[in-house]
Amino acid sequence: MEKTECHKKLMEVGTRLFSEKGLHGVSIRELSLAAGTSISMISYHFGSKEGLYQEVLRQQFDCFKEIHEIRERVTDPVAMVESYLLWTFRRHRNNPYLLRFYTSELTNPTPFFEPLVMPVIDEVIVTMAGVIEEGIRQKKFREDVDPTNAALALAGMVNYFFLSSLATKNLINHTPEKDELLVRQYLEIFTCGVGVPGR
Amino acid sequence: MEKTECHKKLMEVGTRLFSEKGLHGVSIRELSLAAGTSISMISYHFGSKEGLYQEVLRQQFDCFKEIHEIRERVTDPVAMVESYLLWTFRRHRNNPYLLRFYTSELTNPTPFFEPLVMPVIDEVIVTMAGVIEEGIRQKKFREDVDPTNAALALAGMVNYFFLSSLATKNLINHTPEKDELLVRQYLEIFTCGVGVPGR
């Protein structure tokens, strides 16, 4: 196996196995067997099992940084809430493993949670709290809304749709064709929820 | 160790270890060592490791059934949304392991997800969707609100507060003294979000 191919294969196998069993549930032997490489290749490319996990985690959460570009492009607070919802749907649709790493790091954090996961989650929350503050200044949102709590409520709505999808498969339709309709419904609930009555 | 004490000890140890490592990440030897019992005691009380996991899971999700009593007691839709929020805060506050089992079963389901977890989650969602439908009939909530999606949005808001708490520890105060204030804010965002404008 070529070096770049070996690196790619280990990342693929690491993503799948770590997402199912967590950092401590996967052995270096299991990883090398599943990737069809030797154990020494993990050391060569990533230093250790922890090094591979760190790289996988970095790749999973890399998309969170896109919030900055979106915020630069979209100035209106309501349009930004919509962009955030669409972007979050896209993040989960494009990456079926994200939710597993996200929930497992939040409920059973590894040593990589504080340096890698917490900062990018916080950046998104702080950015969206800023958007809501801007909406309050523009009198689009109510003055008594707490920007950070409202940003968390918004994140909760949209992330829970994906988190609960296995439990609700008989209750609602989860096909991506419905995403736009759902985004519109969440946008409506949220903007009315924080909006100024009668406007 | 007495039989009832041994049963209790195995349930305690099982709850802690399974919540950290999942069903497949814990061995029967590890469980018996941590509980200070013999392996045969696990077979005696629970049949197998899977039997112990099943009992732990049943105990964790037992509180979900309380929704029926609450619904019988509280008839007004807005008051019921508030009761649901308070109850969900209480469920997480009283049980620090619940969120781990909840997220791990939803993202990496075991064979016990379909018989034990899915039905109780669905009961809560269906009950709350019924409450929202009732609110629409009473003209308290908008006609264009989808009851099931709104019930999921509500569940998402409140569950995400607990799910994200480790990431947001520097952004907001998570002490239980703030729970009432938070419930009031979520209730306001949600009821305005699905409410009839100008009422």
User: Across-strand partners of A17?
Assistant: none
**Touching check for A167 and chain B: CB below 8 Å?**
yes
Measured CA angle at B159 (ends B156, B163), to 5 deg = 115
Rounded Cα gap, residues B84 and B67, in angstroms: 8
Burial of B90: CB neighbours in 10 Å, binned 0-12, 13-18, 19+: middle
Q: Is the pTM of this model over 0.90?
A: yes
**Which ipTM did the prediction report?**
0.91
Task: Give me the mean pLDDT over the A54-69 stretch.
Answer: 96
Of A25, A117, A167, the CB nearest to B21: A25
CB pairs under 8 A between A and B: 184
A133 neighbors A146 (Cβ within 8 angstroms): no
Comparing CB atoms, the residue among B100, B108, B190 nearest residue A20 is B108
- Which residue, A134, A129, A132, A179, is CA-closest to A158? A179
By C-alpha distance, the chain A residue nearest B189 is A193
| Residues 6+ away with beta carbon under 8 Å from A86 | A183
Work out the number of other CB atoms within 10 angstroms of the CB of residue A130.
16
Is a pLDDT exceeding 80 seen at residue A192?
yes
Q: Which two tokens stand for residue A137?
A: 């200044």
Express each pLDDT in A72-121 by its tens digit.
Answer: 999 999 999 999 999 999 999 999 999 999 999 999 999 999 999 999 99
Return the pLDDT at A199. Answer: 56
pLDDT tens, N- to C-terminus, chain B (199 residues): 788 889 999 999 999 999 999 999 999 999 999 999 999 999 999 999 999 999 999 999 999 999 999 999 999 999 999 999 999 999 999 999 999 999 999 999 999 999 999 999 999 999 999 999 999 999 999 898 999 999 999 999 999 999 999 999 989 888 888 888 889 999 989 888 877 776 5
Which has the closest alpha carbon to A120: A82, A164, A155? Answer: A155
DSSP state of A177: G
CA A79/CA A175 separation, integer angstroms: 24
Contact A96, A15 (CB under 8 A): no
Domains and CATH numbers, chain A: 3-47 (1.10.10.60), 61-192 (1.10.357.10)
Interface test with A, best of B189, B191, B194, B199 (most A CBs within 10 A): B189
CB-based contact, A120 to chain B, within 8 Å: no
Written as one letter, the residue type at B116 is L
* pLDDT tens track for A21-45: 999 999 999 999 999 999 999 999 9
Looking at residue A198, its pLDDT comes to: 63
- Judged by DSSP in three states, A123 sits in helix
Q: How far, rounded to the nearest angstrom, does the alpha carbon of residue B50 sit from its chain's CA centroid? A: 21
Using CA of residue A80, residue B189, residue B170, residue A101, what is the dihedral sign?
negative
